[in-house]
């Protein structure tokens, strides 16, 4: 299969990346981050989460963030909604898309939310119905699609099953998430080859973590399966909660560098993104873990130095 000529990059840093930060990131920083990202050309930004602030205190200011950002025409601002209450918050905040989620691993589902995969997705029925009625896009996120911290191997059939359940709920887009970054390219291709049989290829996306350094190889593998949407997190924001100190989300700068090298259109300005990566890393006092970001920043800063 020919690789796509253009892809959509979904920037998840403001939500997935920041959500585990212990130190509260000021609302104005979150707003500036999102505004700069949309100005750099992102067509989809995961901007906030309408979950209980008891669970995720970092995301407690979701309504203020959504109220404060400048909406760029053509950019979809997504928010995570675990339940109907979260959905109501999302509607009030004028979210363009809500994100619902379920694990492909039974062990993960039981350990995390104390119910089966099937039950966990059943609970989203009212949310999905309400979203459909109000014309709000729905994205379903299939976590642990390439492996689970509890059960290890996750059968491809389990991923397909969750995708079918999300499709039945009316999801507009479904992401195959390697939540703990354990996947490798052959398995990635196998999973995408299977799920494209039950859901349209052009509405499936790849969400990869770089915990084991495999994210870009997996993205290259998914491109070869014709996948056209990828998630990434600016400066590699977001760790891996299952291995302290380990790398989390794949860095947006690295993904854009890959796409540019492959001649695949993204509509996003890499140079601007590198600056945004520097801005947010500096703002929250965390090291920038994007390799392309670090290299391009180092290059810009030492442009005058000679090196033989």
Catalytic residues: 240
Is there binding between residue 107 and its own copies (CB under 8 A)?
A: no
Pick from 174, 212, 228, 280 the residue near its own copies by CB under 8 A: 212
The SS3 call for residue 199 is: coil
Note whether 135 binds its own copies by CB under 8 A.
no
168: CB partners within 8 A, 6+ apart: none
Q: Can residue 52 be called a binding residue for its own copies (CB under 8 A)?
A: no
Does the footprint of its own copies cover residue 245 (CB under 8 A)?
yes
Nearer Cβ to its own copies (220/279): 220
- Give min distance, CB of 107 to its own copies, in A: 12
Say if CB 186 and CB 221 are below 8 A apart: yes
Tokens standing for residue 258: 């890959």
Is 252 a residue that touches its own copies (CB under 8 A)? no
For helices 185-195 and 215-224, give the axis angle rounded to 10 degrees.
40
Work out which of 83, 217, 226, 275 binds its own copies, going by CB under 8 A: 217
What gap in Å lies between CA 291 and CA 155, rounded to an integer?
32
Strand positions, DSSP E, the chain: 8-11, 44-49, 76-80, 97-103, 137-143, 173-178, 204-208, 229-232
Nearer to its own copies, 38 or 290 (CB): 290
Residues 277-296 that bind its own copies (CB under 8 A): 290-292, 294-295
If one asks whether residue 247 binds its own copies (CB under 8 A), the answer comes out as yes
Q: What helix, strand, coil percent values describe the chain, rounded to 5?
A: 45, 20, 40
Which positions lie near its own copies, rule CB under 8 A?
A: 111-112, 149, 181, 183-187, 210-214, 216-217, 219-221, 240-247, 251, 254, 257-258, 260-263, 290-292, 294-295, 298-299, 302, 307-308
């Amino acid at each position: 299969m020919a690789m796509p000529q253009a892809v959509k990059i979904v920037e998840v840093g403001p939500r997935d990346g920041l959500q585990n930060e212990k130190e509260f990131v000021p609302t104005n920083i979150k707003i500036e981050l999102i505004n700069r990202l949309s100005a750099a050309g992102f067509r989809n930004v995961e901007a906030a989460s309408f979950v209980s602030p008891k669970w995720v205190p970092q995301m407690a200011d979701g309504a203020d963030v959504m109220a404060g950002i400048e909406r760029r025409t053509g950019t979809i601002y997504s928010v995570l909604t675990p339940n109907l209450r979260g959905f109501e918050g999302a509607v009030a905040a004028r979210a363009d898309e809500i994100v619902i989620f379920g694990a492909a691993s039974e062990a993960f589902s039981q350990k995390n939310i104390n119910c089966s995969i099937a039950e966990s997705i059943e609970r989203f029925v009212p949310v999905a119905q309400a979203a459909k009625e109000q014309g709000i896009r729905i994205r379903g996120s299939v976590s642990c699609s390439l492996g689970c911290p509890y059960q290890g191997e996750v059968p491809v059939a389990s991923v397909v099953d969750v995708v079918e359940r999300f499709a039945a709920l009316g999801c507009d887009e479904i992401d195959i998430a390697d939540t703990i970054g354990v996947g490798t390219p052959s398995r990635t291709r196998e999973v995408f080859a299977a799920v494209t049989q039950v859901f349209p290829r052009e509405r499936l996306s790849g969400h990869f973590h770089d915990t084991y350094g495999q994210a870009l190889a997996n993205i290259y593998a998914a491109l070869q399966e014709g996948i056209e949407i990828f998630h990434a997190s600016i400066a590699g924001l977001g760790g891996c909660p299952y291995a302290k100190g380990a790398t989390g989300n794949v860095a947006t700068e690295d993904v854009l560098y890959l796409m540019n090298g492959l001649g695949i259109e993204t509509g996003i300005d890499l140079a601007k993104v590198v600056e945004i990566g520097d801005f947010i890393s500096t703002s929250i006092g965390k090291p920038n873990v994007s390799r392309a970001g670090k290299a391009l920043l180092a290059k810009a800063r030492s442009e005058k130095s000679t090196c033989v």
